[in-house]
Structures are given as C-alpha cells and as structure tokens.
C-alpha cells in the first residue's frame, strides 16, 4: 500500500515504470488508468465587507481555530443539492462561511471581510497528469480541467446564484472592483474561475 497523495502517487508509479505504455519511458507494467482522470472540488469565494475585523484570522491561526473549535464561525458549512442533481442522494454543492485571510501578506482591509464559499461536491470534469521529467523532485504537470464538463458549469452557476442570494439577505455590501460583479456569471465561470479559484 502506498500513500503519497493524489498527484504524487501516479508520479511515483509512472517513474517506477507502472502506467500507460505510451507515457512511461521504462515500461514495466501496463496500467492505463495511472495519472488519468484526476478530479477535485472547485471552490469559489464571494466576499463581503463586515464592520469588524475581530474574527478575521490569518491562515496560520486557522488550523488551531479549527482543531479546538474556537473562533466566531462554525466552519462545517452546509451541503445542499441543486436541481441538476437527479439522484438527490448525495449533495452536489457545499456552502461554507470563511473568516480566514488567505493572502500572504494579508489583505489590508480597514474593517473585515467575510467569505461565503461555494464548493462543487460531485464534479464530473476529469483532468490528466503527466511527468515533467525523470527526476522525482520535479513537479508533475497536472491539469484538473475545472468546469470542462457542462454539468459542472450548470451546478456552479446555480450555487453562486444561491450564495449571492444568501449574501443579499445580510447587511454587508460586496467589495468594489470584484470581477464577479462586473462580468456575466457564465463568462466569469467559463474563464476566470478555471484559472484563479482554489479547491
């Protein structure tokens, strides 16, 4: 049994000669699926100004806050199903309140910022991984192909619309200059999100 993560495991196997014969230089064992079809949960954050920065913690502080269940916001989030989820058995969206400043150095806001993060729980899009070289220290090339499947695009559009409706019920105002406020939602998802969003 080997445990090295979703990207490092196929890298190690391919470097060892295990994988698709057309992509492994010193081929030992044919396993076509190695390094193929990786998936990840795309997440998009919608930011709002809040009148205080007291609960806006740094990313370094966030681990301790989560481990001891401290801080002013429960990070568990809520899972929901969109109308595109035909089975309804498993949720395809998750909305999470976030009070962490992910930027390093931190974003210099005068007050505070609050995120509502919407995540794709059942992605249909699949990517690929390939070796950059035979050196195990070189990072492999990995492309998850976020939102390449039209079904994912439809679910995320509904998730963002729902999240923005939740935000509109709050008293805070969206940050100025936010690309999500100036681009049509489908255009934002099709271009900016694929390159700039975390998972």
- Name the pLDDT band for 176 (thresholds 50, 70, 90): very low
Q: Where are the domains of the chain?
A: 1-36, 39-196
pTM: 0.67
Which tokens sit at 33? 């699926």
**Looking at residue 177, what is its pLDDT?**
43
Does residue 87 surpass a pLDDT of 70?
no
**Looking at residue 35, what is its pLDDT?**
81
DSSP 15-84: HTTEE-TTT-SS--EE-TTTTB------EEEEEEEES--TT-EEHHHHHHHHHTT-SSS-TT-EEE--TT
User: What whole-number distance in Å separates Cα of residue 44 and Cα of residue 29?
Assistant: 39
**Looking at residue 125, what is its pLDDT?**
92
pLDDT in tens, 8-57: 888 888 888 888 877 776 666 777 778 888 888 888 888 777 666 555 55
Q: Give me the CATH topology for the region 39-196.
A: Glucose Oxidase; domain 3 (3.30.560)
- Name the pLDDT band for 124 (thresholds 50, 70, 90): very high
Q: By C-alpha distance, which of 79, 46, 43, 41 is closest to 166?
A: 46
User: What whole-number distance in Å separates Cα of residue 88 and Cα of residue 123?
Assistant: 15
Q: What is the mean pLDDT of residues 97-116?
A: 64
């Amino acid at each position: 049994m080997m445990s090295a993560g979703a990207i490092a495991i196929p890298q190690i196997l391919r470097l060892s000669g295990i994988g698709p014969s057309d992509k492994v230089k010193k081929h030992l064992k044919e396993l076509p699926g190695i390094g193929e079809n990786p998936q990840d949960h795309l997440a998009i954050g919608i930011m709002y100004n809040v009148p205080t920065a007291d609960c806006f913690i740094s990313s370094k502080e966030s681990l301790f806050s989560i481990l001891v269940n401290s801080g002013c916001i429960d990070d568990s989030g809520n899972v929901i199903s969109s109308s595109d989820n035909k089975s309804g058995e498993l949720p395809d969206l998750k909305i999470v309140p976030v009070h962490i400043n992910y930027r390093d150095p931190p974003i210099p806001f005068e007050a505070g910022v609050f995120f509502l993060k919407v995540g794709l729980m059942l992605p249909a899009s699949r990517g690929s991984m390939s070796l950059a070289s035979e050196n195990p220290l070189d990072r492999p090339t990995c492309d998850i192909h976020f939102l390449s499947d039209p079904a994912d695009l439809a679910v995320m559009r509904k998730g963002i619309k729902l999240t923005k409706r939740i935000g509109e019920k709050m008293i805070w105002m969206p940050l100025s200059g936010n690309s999500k406020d100036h681009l049509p939602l489908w255009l934002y998802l099709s271009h900016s999100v694929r390159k700039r969003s975390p998972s």
